[in-house]
């Protein structure tokens, strides 16, 4: 039987495919442009996207397990719900779904609310699924290279409450492990969920201290101004997405997104090791940036 990976060319999808490599599983990767895809050996590129129902029906033929990553789009909820229902119609025995950490609590953040609704669909329709709930991606802060190196500033307005940021490599590995667990099971497995989080609660002062050590220079925090964030994001993204990110950062500032010790321990048990730390990421990035 076969595993289908959606979102296969993105930050998370590429990690999922990398961790499925050499697993012995038959893996298909959904992509709009198979002719341009550069996937690991043994991965079959399949043309399609979640919004194309006919292509999805074709892609799901013979699939037993699916990794579902819905794009951050205005119709994200529709795309995800359609994909779940098409998978049920095709007889898929298990879905590994990329949701979000604190989705239920952050009801005023559009993409959080969308993912929480999909989780409710699994419960309401008794869909065998593993729900993965990642926190803020550590690798998002690779985009801070220019302000860190040029101005000595960390510019993401994460606030002072703390966020248990997660490494995308840990997301990919957790997803691959769950896909294989469901794929190799003789029968559909019960629903389950994991918080995908890092080992530390990171507030602005923690992050600036880590970068100061990694770059061997003083790093200051740019502050909590969300108007500046939205304006900056709108220069490179649609207005609706910039506002969505503003709402997310507002909740981070107000409430934080800190994992419990049990969350961290459960992820460590799934991975077979502790989750990666922000400090390790920052040190590796600093070495890469300063070597050039």
Reported as a single tens digit per residue, the pLDDT across 242-283 is 999 999 999 999 999 999 999 999 999 999 999 999 999 999
CA–CA separation, 123 and 102 (whole Å): 17
pLDDT at 292: 61
Closest CA to 20 of 38, 34, 37, 4: 4
Region 147-174: what's the mean pLDDT? 98
Q: Please, what is the Cα angle at 44 between 181 and 169, to 5 degrees? A: 50
Q: Residue 148: pLDDT above 70?
A: yes
Q: Residue 107: pLDDT above 70?
A: yes
Q: Which CATH class is domain 2-134+167-196?
A: alpha beta
Q: What is the dihedral of CA 19, 21, 27, 29, to 10 degrees?
A: 70
pLDDT at 1: 73
Q: Cβ–Cβ contacts within 10 Å for residue 236, how many?
A: 9
DSSP one-letter code for 164: -
Q: Residue 208: pLDDT above 70?
A: yes
Q: Residue 80: pLDDT above 70?
A: yes
């Amino acid at each position: 039987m076969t595993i289908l990976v959606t979102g296969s060319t993105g930050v998370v999808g590429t990690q999922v495919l990398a961790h499925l490599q050499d697993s012995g599983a038959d893996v298909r990767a959904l992509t709009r442009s198979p002719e341009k895809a550069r996937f690991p050996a043994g991965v079959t590129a399949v043309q399609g996207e979640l919004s194309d129902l006919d292509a999805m029906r074709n892609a799901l033929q013979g699939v037993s397990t699916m990794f579902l990553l819905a794009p951050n789009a205005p119709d994200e909820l529709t795309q995800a719900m359609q994909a779940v229902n098409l998978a049920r119609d095709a007889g898929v025995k298990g879905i590994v779904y990329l949701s979000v950490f604190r989705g239920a609590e952050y009801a005023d953040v559009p993409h959080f609310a969308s993912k929480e609704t999909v989780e409710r669909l699994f419960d309401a329709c008794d869909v065998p699924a593993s729900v993965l709930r990642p926190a803020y991606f550590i690798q998002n802060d690779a985009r801070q290279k220019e302000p860190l190196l040029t101005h000595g500033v960390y510019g993401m307005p994460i606030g002072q409450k703390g966020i248990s940021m997660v490494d995308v490599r840990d997301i990919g590995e957790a997803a691959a492990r769950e896909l294989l667990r469901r794929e190799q099971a003789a029968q559909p497995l019960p629903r389950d969920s994991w918080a995908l989080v890092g080992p530390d609660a990171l507030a602005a002062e923690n992050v600036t201290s880590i970068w100061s050590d990694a770059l061997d220079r003083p790093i200051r925090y740019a502050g909590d101004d969300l108007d500046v964030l939205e304006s900056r994001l709108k220069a490179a993204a649609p207005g609706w997405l910039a506002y969505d990110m503003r709402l997310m950062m507002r909740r981070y500032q107000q409430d934080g997104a800190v994992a419990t010790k049990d969350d961290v321990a459960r992820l460590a048990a799934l991975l077979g090791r502790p989750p990666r730390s922000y400090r390790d990421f920052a040190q590796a990035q600093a070495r890469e940036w300063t070597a050039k």
